[in-house]
Structure 1
């Protein structure tokens, strides 16, 4: 009996030692580039797993050691919906200072608190919405009409001032470009021409904006955040622009954002915006599979909502290819790696 117990103990110790000594798979190797790691991980995922990772609340995939992840956190004027945190003045008051250096200091403090809260949540096993390092702010829409209802989230009606404030927010949240990892991700929203009316935003069609007004009023702040601050996320808006939902607008996402401005990071949907493609709202897609395919093909990488669960069915039907899915998911995986999600805090 004693000999049997000793033999079993030695076998267990050998297995444990082997597991500890097992070489890292490429996507787990911090010495490789994020692009190399993302490509390796893509090759190991099933289509269903890929679709699950393209939603704002992404489940864990235990067989590959992928932890749970949430893309939606709030930090409009301080870390939001995540316990006790420093509350700064609302954004309209920040812009009234005309002091973008001060605003950058404010959001440096916000990202300090956010990163600390994220570490605490991971260690406590309580990682959910509002506890990850992807903050869906700043709102850089132009506030022209007080009847909109959300103007207090913006930095006012001046495109130049909005751009300067927005750049400061992004730099404070994301941290210096000289580091390998990003401190947090900021999100420029809502792209584009999203300044009300609030009550019919899920059906409204903006088709009376001149090219001059688009370029001089509604787009300058977004361009500055993309080209100067290197913002890592852009959120597409609910409404249609020139007959196409913003999250399915090739003009906005394909031609202007990714084409003219050279944007190479993440496009995320506002919550429920892809569902708005369906009949009864915008009505530009016949069913959920088509809605998911239309958004992915346009370049919307991440959905806050439920339609991307239909991605496998859309691939099976031929509405999009798995390569189309991989293009978006690769950007998302690089993002998570850049935020340190796959690596220990000690690195």
Structure 2
């Protein structure tokens, strides 16, 4: 009897879990997997009535295809119609789809860091779509300090991405941009990062995300959960992530020990801006632990911070195989895979880039470690984003995009302009640059990057082992060939430059040239994902090549450095034979044209360094694995970034020269900022140096203020030189003197403007007092200090006091 009862219960469970009506079962049996998968232009969108008719399914049975319903209701209906095994099959980046619901497979993983790339499984390059525009890497694009350019690039990239989706060659979810702080020049992924300043990084994130996501006319939706998306962006890697593999310490085992002060002040603000101001629809959590807890398993970071405090409208995805890394690398709490899945799902991670969720979540449910309701919520977050992209309903405005919208002349020219705007002039002795086309016709173009092509793309562009490439390349040799006769000599066999046998040929070329351009630097064999640097020097014999060629050259010598993280080129900076130095990052597919146009004056460079270039001995003073920013005299740490570093530099953050000269005049500036306090607002103490008099009310918590006070700054910029040019106006705030442990200064605003020779432009800034003058104390409180702040323009070209008073 007991056996019969057990048999009947098993039969009942099977029927309850998996039965489908006879009519639907007959319909489903006719559906092939290929019918469900978007493979070309015939696939319009999931809930296309003609598609359901073709599949012999009645679309009216599926409420998730009712466009009159809110996305949240539709997503819930879709998830509720799935069986548990079907739900689990959708939790990895390669979602399996549900044939009986006519839900196709979907690949979440596509990349668009600086152009649609063939990284990730969701993007396909083939004979139909062999190319996409490759813009400069992010570090160089950021050096333009041009917000509108960043957004315009995002718009161009998303147009190509949407066109590729229409052709069945890409998804609608792109895991870009990278917005981690470039904390240390040794970090291998600095090419991907927008710089070392959290405000700058955040502003870049907002503009690029808006460029990728915004559908014109829908930017200010009241209900952000229903706001349409051109494509979905994803800001990564959250958080305190910037160690790849340094002296045996890798990202799969690294525990970032971070103070709450540094988290609040530096690591998290770019992500907060990305969520709040950029309305990003995806966040990727990082491999590393943060203070002992894997970031993908930390509910404080994911649920409390991202969702509750910042109000993320989107999904959270792991960096690829992060769940597996928790088990095999971090050995977090000696978790099994089922434990790790329970940890991450409860913490708020919706999607696993990897196979751990699809493979082990069923076991986790059976072991009562995971609730089905947690799975449902994760899937709802995912599908709401896909609804917003038009995956289910389409977005008519983008229906016509196709092959002719990829690699357009407009996009190629934008990539060229981006490279030009980012290129930074670091030295120009005696006004050597620009070169005159009439005087310099015989050019020696030498060095390991003289004939660069793939190296100009940096990372997250195109892997050589897969199909796909930029629209075309313009190498430095090609670029300079339009200005004169080029005599090319590599000087080094490769970037490692381990041999000196090729140097003599480069020397001979320089002896007879009217001008010599030496192109050196780094590439992905030196700085890249999974590989950090151990020094700040040019590799191998590159310095020897530079010195020998410079000493032998007949004409002026111009040094061009291609890299992401800074290198110590003090020897070249101090060498009188080297007349000019340009930093060109990794300038993208049109890098050669951009470099040549700058050298010969077709474009006047206006880029500024988004990172500090330290001297070589910096690496001996502080390990890469130390996460702190403030200097520590007891350990000999000099601090990090321009905000805290107390040593000498090769070139400082924000440095950049021009072929012309600009003068600044302050037209209007407020010198007093009265801040009104509420009846129950209390003063907050600050630590001051012993020789400083502490104010009666040192500071107020920002959370206790209305923060409605603003101050204006109007600056007149006059071009007093003979060439048109662009100037980047940088504005910093400096806290009152004597406060212990705060930053030296912080960037609060910037604008790039074009000023014709002899002309003038007025730049207007409006600053919020709380945002622009606040500090973070040792207890991670964000405060507004009273007293004499200083507003500085550029490197002290103009400054004025600003007295904050409480009343």
Do the two structures share a fold, i.e. TM-score over 0.5?
yes
In the alignment, does 2:296 pair up with 1:247? Answer: yes
- Structure 1 contact 147–197 (Cα < 8 Å) conserved: no
Identify which of 152, 155, 169 aligns with 1:108. Answer: 155
Write out aligned runs for 1:255-334 (5 A).
255-309=304-358, 310-334=360-384
**Offset of 1:297 from its aligned partner?**
0.7
- Structure 1 contact 277–284 (Cα < 8 Å) conserved: no
Partner Cα distance (2:109, 2:374) in 1: 24
2:132 paired residue number: 85
- What secondary structure does 1:60 align onto? coil
Partner Cα distance (2:281, 2:261) in 1: 27
1:187 paired residue number: 234
Partner Cα distance (1:33, 1:59) in 2: 25
- What secondary structure does 1:301 align onto? coil
1:40 paired residue number: 77
Residues 285 and 46 (structure 1), Cα distance of their counterparts in 2 relative to 1, 3 Å cut: farther
**Offset of 1:54 from its aligned partner?**
1.3
- Structure 2 contact 280–313 (Cα < 8 Å) conserved: no
**Offset of 1:22 from its aligned partner?**
6.0
Identify which of 167, 182, 199 aligns with 1:143. Answer: 182
Partner Cα distance (2:154, 2:59) in 1: 41
Q: How many residues are treated as equivalent by the alignment?
A: 323
Partner Cα distance (1:316, 1:264) in 2: 31
Partner Cα distance (1:280, 1:78) in 2: 32
Partner Cα distance (1:18, 1:307) in 2: 32
- What secondary structure does 2:322 align onto? coil
Query: Relative to total residues, which structure has the larger strand share, 1 or 2?
Result: 2
In the alignment, does 2:217 pair up with 1:165? Answer: no
**Offset of 1:264 from its aligned partner?**
3.6
Partner Cα distance (1:166, 1:102) in 2: 12
1:12 paired residue number: none
1:203 paired residue number: 253
Partner Cα distance (1:153, 1:345) in 2: 30
1:10 paired residue number: none
- Structure 1 contact 66–342 (Cα < 8 Å) conserved: no
Write out aligned runs for 1:42-57 (5 A).
42-57=79-94
**Offset of 1:301 from its aligned partner?**
0.2
- What secondary structure does 1:53 align onto? coil
Partner Cα distance (1:21, 1:211) in 2: 55
- What secondary structure does 2:266 align onto? helix
- Structure 1 contact 75–110 (Cα < 8 Å) conserved: yes
**Relative contact order higher in (CA < 8 Å, ≥ 6 apart):** 1
Q: Which moved more, 1:16-25 or 1:93-102?
A: 16-25
- Structure 2 contact 59–65 (Cα < 8 Å) conserved: no
In the alignment, does 2:67 pair up with 1:30? Answer: yes
1:238 paired residue number: 287
Query: In the TM superposition, what whole-angstrom CA distance separates every residue of 1:128-172 from its partner, at most 9, and x where no partner exists?
Result: xxx101111110001121221111100111111111111011000
Q: Which moved more, 1:172-181 or 1:257-266?
A: 172-181
Q: Which moved more, 1:216-225 or 1:25-34?
A: 25-34
Partner Cα distance (2:327, 2:312) in 1: 28
1:72 paired residue number: 109
Larger Rg: 2
- Structure 2 contact 293–332 (Cα < 8 Å) conserved: no
**Offset of 1:175 from its aligned partner?**
1.2
Residues 314 and 105 (structure 1), Cα distance of their counterparts in 2 relative to 1, 3 Å cut: same
TM-score by length of 1: 0.88
1:153 paired residue number: 192
**Offset of 1:345 from its aligned partner?**
5.8
Residues 103 and 314 (structure 1), Cα distance of their counterparts in 2 relative to 1, 3 Å cut: same
Q: Which moved more, 1:193-202 or 1:84-93?
A: 193-202
TM-score by length of 2: 0.39
2:50 paired residue number: none
Partner Cα distance (2:305, 2:56) in 1: 49
Partner Cα distance (1:94, 1:175) in 2: 20
- Structure 1 contact 202–282 (Cα < 8 Å) conserved: no
Query: In the TM superposition, what whole-angstrom CA distance separates every residue of 1:245-274 from its partner, at most 9, and x where no partner exists?
Result: 000012211222222212242110000111
CA RMSD of aligned residues (A): 2.0
- Structure 2 contact 180–242 (Cα < 8 Å) conserved: yes
Partner Cα distance (1:293, 1:165) in 2: 35
Partner Cα distance (1:325, 1:213) in 2: 33
- What secondary structure does 2:283 align onto? strand
